[in-house]
Amino acid sequence: MGAWGSGTFENDDACDLVCDLRESTDLSLLEEALRTAAETDEDLDAGDGSKALAAAEVILALLGHPSPAIAEEEDLQAWMKANPQRPTAALLALAERAVQQVTAEDSELRELWDEVDSLDEWMAEVNTLQAGLRAARSAVG
């Protein structure tokens, strides 16, 4: 796992998503990352899980509820300013389902954090994201 911390953007896969997003002007990359995680019928790959968490963070920030994890992401801040878009309720629901899949017992990403004895730290980050997503539901009504 190419990670240097438990934060959403502290891994290679999330950074790859951010780099790809800089070349985009819509939410399709975010939707693709979320759909890959939310609709998998197999064990969720760690890379796909990391991208889904990053995508959910961006959706949350676009809804006006940025988490602390995104505050230090200058590239994302610039992209959101240049591409102000309002995610739909359906996209928010997809983000919630994706994050649930990432935290499922059979998620490879969850298993990796457990193997390095940092599951509690990682789950704290993900729980903050999940709480933000739940709170954002009222923003998209």
pTM for the model: 0.94
Question: How many structural domains compose the chain?
Answer: 1
Extract the tokens encoding 32: 């693709």
Count CA atoms within 13 Å of residue 103 on its CB side: 20
Q: Is residue 108 part of a domain?
A: yes
Q: What is the pLDDT of residues 9-24, one digit of tens each?
A: 999 999 999 999 999 9
Query: Does residue 23 form part of some domain?
Result: yes
138 pLDDT band, cuts 50/70/90, is confident
> Would you say residue 6 lies in a domain?
no
Q: Is residue 30 part of a domain?
A: yes
Decide if 5 is inside a domain: no
Assigned domain for 29 exists? yes
Which domain range does residue 46 map to? 12-140
Backbone angles phi, psi at 74, to 5 degrees: -60, -40
| Residue 39 forms part of a structural domain | yes
Q: Give percent of the chain above pLDDT 70.
A: 98
Over residues 40-57, mean pLDDT? 93
Q: For residue 4, is it within any domain?
A: no
Write the pLDDT tens digit of every residue in 67-95.
888 888 898 999 999 999 999 999 999 99
User: Alpha-carbon distance 43 to 21, whole Å?
Assistant: 25
